[in-house]
Amino acid sequence: MAFRVEVAPQALGDLDLIAAYIAERGSLQRAELWFNGILNANSRALASIRG
């Protein structure tokens, strides 16, 4: 089953702020991994729903 997910602008802004925090204290690569991991986790969670 396919889903269309829209991330609210506020949520995307929050994720960007957190990623910037991680990048400042670690590395840009770590921030990108974290950001992509959050988005992938949401996709996997939706994919596990049986309708």
Model pLDDT, residue 4: 80
Q: Which domain holds residue 42?
A: 15-47
Q: For residue 8, tell me if it sits in a domain.
A: no
CA dist., res. 35 & res. 51, Å (int): 28
Whether 22 is in a domain gets the answer yes
What is the torsion angle, in degrees rounded to the nearest 10, for the CA atoms of residue 16, residue 7, residue 37 and residue 29? Answer: -30
The pLDDT tens digits of the residues spanning 16-47 come to: 999 999 999 999 999 999 999 998 888 888 87
In a domain, 32, yes or no: yes
pLDDT at residue 1 in the model? 60
Q: Does any domain span residue 35? A: yes
- Would residue 6 count as lying in a domain? no
Q: How many domains is the chain partitioned into structurally?
A: 1
